[in-house]
Structure 1
């Protein structure tokens, strides 16, 4: 099988190459911004669509079944997506993955008119394949391209750009349905807006450079692996299931999308009317931007010791998470499936609206802090894109299996309280396991590992350093 890697040299980069422009097209910063924009357009808009509860429909059945199909195939292709990325490279992998998002949004435009859920379920299954490819690629890029001591900062940059998609996506149904306090399902214009953004993201994915062409400011390239093939990837992916480091990540991975079902359907989708759900999502994904910046700073700058930063960051996430789930419990005690309160509107005054709104904002804050911390830990386990693509693919695969299970838990009418407690328990169990992983596997400084792989920065045909 052909290689997606450039040939490498052990020659040191001249000093002049090391001080080239910070905003080079082939710099890690620009590439992280580009993958952030791709995810802004595709999964960012998907998140906004899912965040409305039921895909914007009053009946959650089609959405729940479509999302179950999505996360079932995502679980498989999330795990093998890293291997596919290592063989095909970012262009083909990202383009194929992104192209499935517009199809999914289009299936709900179809459902708005014909109310046949088969198309949505098939589109969901195809999106699971595409999402596995996209997120394995994104994970490899986000964890391997940045400098070793700034991975938290670059993760927060990506997370902020990506979640701006959810903010804009939340504004679309809010604006288009603003004049209707009683609308049950979103209008066609909402789905068409999502389709346009997702199509733009698919085209933009072609701008991402492979790791072998990305050069950090200190002169290091982002990979030392020369090539990969189907046999190598199959064997390496198989070994992940017996890798103790990956096994310690399993509870965190499982829970990190498991709680979306409860948050989107049973809080936002249950307590608020349609236009307010869109507004809530603006703040939910905006909170994600704040959470990612905060935890990124802690993971990079709180202590000199890399391990101390990791342990402290996880402890902060644990404390914030405990407080937010305690607030969710207080809120959940007020209602049950069979005794739902009237749908709240953003124009309602008093604590009846404010309490659930602040809780939903807190959910967004916790999600970003939790997932950014997990990505930081994964990124600290290695520094090569080929290895990290497998690690992040494994993470996304387990994460998606948890999500597929969660959507069916909701579809089978498991009580809201049981779902809340299950979410709280799983996330709480994951914190000490992540701390243990940091203490046992994260090295204080791996600059020595990078030194042998410094490369000569040759000029490309357009005059940019390769």
Structure 2
């Protein structure tokens, strides 16, 4: 069946394509930069600028949920997307005058903050719309569609880096390459303007999306403050933080630490493609015809079982195989320097990608199950993305500063997963089979 242009799923695909051409191409570009020999820093520092980016993204994502009730989603996605082309352009300038030059010293933190704000605005819009547009029985499928498109960007970038590094390890990222990626991300941000207004969207069951009247900044700030007092969101706080906390350890302690540069990119391709598989597996479970609470319990059990398998492997790797190779060399699956455990560690890393997506998919579905109200879900989306960004921020800050050893970080992750799943189960116990009655009461209160 052909989807109309104004169909909710079509709009999510348009949003996904905009994300692919902005944040996705940003990841692709810096995968090439990392392969270009910038091995003295992690890809995270190279592609974001570190601390200024993360903390500005946390704040912008939280506020972005309320902003979505004031401006049109396409304008928020447009502004968020522009930050990626601007950051790539500024990075090319910094490349010509690297630190500690005055130009780099001034431009780098400014560029990082701008990217953080843009990332927060784009991420909050993605999180909100993927919960607002679908019907109650399609929320996980919509997330999986969007997530697959988002993950294609870094997968493409690492694929290109793997091929280039295999053919010519000394290739360089030229100014022309930077300009090309800046133009692609620039086009992607304008692509977002092709999204329809939410007021014209009709869901598959015939219900209208019904965005609220344009809100006031002061009232939205009050509503955002009230989110922090919500018992359900307080219970989900740990789960949301955990859902992005483990990325830093996986990238640095497994992939970058253990493998050669070429194999890092090869593994990353599998990692990001596995994310799409994991998201769709959860969609199949969470969008089934069973009662909502039953689906939630099954989903939680699947996430728990998956985490037990891969993080048991993670603990075994950390305490038995972590020191198998010298960080300066790294195991190479395609040449000299491989170790007996290299293939197993590579598979473990890819499987972690699938489980990460399952963990995240459940987070989006669970928050989306709390209500169908547009204004509320917009704020929930900002809160969700902000707490997820807080998770990776804390993990990065502790790990990059050397305050927490990789072995301790691994244990912390396992403990966080266990505690967050318990908190998620408490939220599940209060789930109703539909949010329509609660939404009707909310509507009456707002009149």
The alignment's TM-score, normalised by the length of structure 1, stands at: 0.84
- Residue of structure 1 equivalent to 2:260: 273
Q: Deviations over 1:104-128 (max 9, x none)?
A: 3344444544432643433222111
Contact kept in structure 1, 2:31 and 2:157, CA below 8 Å: no
Task: Give the Cα separation in 2 of the matches to 1:244 and 1:138.
Answer: 24
1:58 CA drift (Å): 1.0
SS at 2:205's partner residue?
coil
Which consecutive unaligned segments of at least 5 residues does structure 2 have?
443-447
SS at 2:166's partner residue?
coil
Task: Give the Cα separation in 1 of the matches to 2:425 and 2:273.
Answer: 28
Contact kept in structure 2, 1:48 and 1:281, CA below 8 Å: no
Is residue 365 of structure 1 aligned with residue 326 of structure 2? Answer: no
Task: Give the Cα separation in 2 of the matches to 1:369 and 1:73.
Answer: 27
Task: Give the Cα separation in 2 of the matches to 1:249 and 1:190.
Answer: 42
Specify whether residues 298 and 53 from structure 1 end up closer, same or farther in structure 2 by C-alpha distance, changes over 3 A only: farther
Task: Give the Cα separation in 2 of the matches to 1:446 and 1:325.
Answer: 34
Is residue 84 of structure 1 aligned with residue 84 of structure 2? Answer: no
Correspondence 1:379-458 to 2 at 5 A: 379-413=368-402, 414-440=404-430, 442-446=431-435
- Residue of structure 2 equivalent to 1:198: 185
Q: Which moved more, 1:128-137 or 1:57-66?
A: 57-66
Q: Deviations over 1:144-184 (max 9, x none)?
A: 10111111111111112221222212222122322245x5x
1:55 CA drift (Å): 8.8
Q: Deviations over 1:390-424 (max 9, x none)?
A: 01111111222222222221222231111111122
Q: Deviations over 1:185-220 (max 9, x none)?
A: 963476556434422321211112232111113221
Correspondence 1:93-242 to 2 at 5 A: 93-116=76-99, 118=105, 119-180=107-168, 187-188=173-174, 191=178, 194-223=181-210, 225-242=212-229
Specify whether residues 355 and 229 from structure 1 end up closer, same or farther in structure 2 by C-alpha distance, changes over 3 A only: same
Specify whether residues 33 and 64 from structure 1 end up closer, same or farther in structure 2 by C-alpha distance, changes over 3 A only: closer
Q: Deviations over 1:16-35 (max 9, x none)?
A: xxxxx751111111011111
- Residue of structure 2 equivalent to 1:292: 279
Task: Give the Cα separation in 2 of the matches to 1:95 and 1:32.
Answer: 15
Specify whether residues 308 and 279 from structure 1 end up closer, same or farther in structure 2 by C-alpha distance, changes over 3 A only: same
Contact kept in structure 1, 2:127 and 2:384, CA below 8 Å: no
Correspondence 1:303-382 to 2 at 5 A: 304-333=290-319, 334-336=321-323, 340=327, 342-348=329-335, 351-382=340-371
Contact kept in structure 2, 1:53 and 1:269, CA below 8 Å: no
Contact kept in structure 2, 1:223 and 1:386, CA below 8 Å: no
Contact kept in structure 1, 2:70 and 2:217, CA below 8 Å: yes
SS at 1:340's partner residue?
coil
1:48 CA drift (Å): 4.8
- Residue of structure 2 equivalent to 1:30: 10
- Residue of structure 1 equivalent to 2:445: none
Task: Give the Cα separation in 1 of the matches to 2:4 and 2:328.
Answer: 54
Task: Give the Cα separation in 2 of the matches to 1:46 and 1:371.
Answer: 21
SS at 1:366's partner residue?
helix
Q: Which moved more, 1:386-395 or 1:110-119?
A: 110-119
Task: Give the Cα separation in 1 of the matches to 2:32 and 2:270.
Answer: 13
Specify whether residues 263 and 122 from structure 1 end up closer, same or farther in structure 2 by C-alpha distance, changes over 3 A only: farther
Aligned residues between the structures: 429
Contact kept in structure 1, 2:31 and 2:161, CA below 8 Å: no
1:74 CA drift (Å): 0.9
Specify whether residues 67 and 311 from structure 1 end up closer, same or farther in structure 2 by C-alpha distance, changes over 3 A only: farther
Q: What is the root-mean-square deviation of aligned Cα atoms in Å?
A: 2.8
The alignment's TM-score, normalised by the length of structure 2, stands at: 0.88
Specify whether residues 305 and 74 from structure 1 end up closer, same or farther in structure 2 by C-alpha distance, changes over 3 A only: same
Q: Deviations over 1:300-348 (max 9, x none)?
A: 11x5110110121022111111211111121122235995373122314
Task: Give the Cα separation in 1 of the matches to 2:269 and 2:67.
Answer: 34
Contact kept in structure 1, 2:140 and 2:287, CA below 8 Å: yes
SS at 2:137's partner residue?
helix
